[in-house]
Amino acid sequence: MRIAVFDSKPYDEQALNDANAGHGHELAFFGDRLSRSTVPLAAGFDVVCPFVNDRVDACTIAQLAQFGVKLIALRCAGFNNVDLAAAREHGLRVVRVPAYSPEATAEHAFALLLTLVRKTHRAFNRVRDGNFSLDGLVGFNLHGKTFGVIGTGKIGQACIRIARGFGCRVLAYDLYPNPALASELGFEYASLDEIFPQADILSLHAPLMANTHHLVNATSIALMKRGVVLINTSRGGLVDSQALLDALKDGQIGGVGMDVYEHEEGVFFEDLSGEALMDDVLARLTTFPNVMITSHQGYLTAEALANIASTVLDNVAAFARGGELVNEVHGSA
């Protein structure tokens, strides 16, 4: 099948081309994100392959249908950027990559956390400047701390395993608690109202839906333990960025590690080093010494890229032969 891959980077091309050796699809790579303005690039293709920040809205989908596109093969787990109702209306199927490497994202969450609590980023810069002083570098142990996890899907579970390995007490929230899982991994399920005041560290692993948008907001932050460390490697829209900034300024939040940002489209994945950062909130967040920001790289391991590419092309192959689409997305975003 002819596949138009949008928002592609060199590492995407390498992984997809490697995986395609066993399929023989025709791949075309576009650096542009899929949107209303770029959708003409999809003319003549059977499948489009968007990423997390592509805007696959109703207008874009209508155009895709006119061009004869039949499948939207996401190369990510989230699907909040796709108008599923419009896809159904126009007869387009939507598939995703539900689990590519839960450990990759969970490990990145702890990379952010450990950097924050042991201040290794500040120590690294000091030593490079010949400053070997330890003043201002006092951190805290993870052992014995209460670790709050929001969402116990595969990434949340991987995060819980790591937290338990550090000797943390883990409290977790999920809309669909799994007591057997809690017993197996050694954590407790609790309500958000119970987790917020107790957690020393709060790690977000929930999908972005209508009921999770701005889950972390001024009201919920006020319930949290003062000085809590917040880690978000899930979706930027889970956090109200202005409320986060305000809480950092008054010390209610003691540290933030974020691999996602609610207004990251057009910023993350791009080299803007020669330009002014136009997002005032993001620009302000970058100035805090207790804020670690990475550019949506939690998934970016060789293993995860290979798994993503393999699943995307397996999804396309299943569609081409009329087989069951085990990773099809149903319902509304």
Instruction: Give yes or no: 328 in active site.
Output: no
Active-site annotation holder among 55, 108, 235, 262: 235
> Are 32 and 322 within 8 A, CB to CB?
no
Active-site annotation holder among 75, 296, 303, 330: 296
Neighbouring-strand partners of residue 72: 48, 94
Distance of CA 238 to the CA centre of its chain: 10
In the block, tokens 């006092």 appear at 138
Question: Of the candidates 318, 307, 102, which has an alpha carbon nearest to the alpha carbon of residue 326?
Answer: 318
Active-site annotation holder among 55, 205, 262, 264: 264
> Are 63 and 38 within 8 A, CB to CB?
no
> Are 175 and 160 within 8 A, CB to CB?
no
> Are 189 and 157 within 8 A, CB to CB?
no
> Are 61 and 84 within 8 A, CB to CB?
no
Instruction: Give yes or no: 103 in active site.
Output: no
Angle at 219 between CA 138 and CA 268, to 5 degrees: 65
Instruction: Give yes or no: 143 in active site.
Output: no
- Catalytic residue numbers read 235, 264, 296
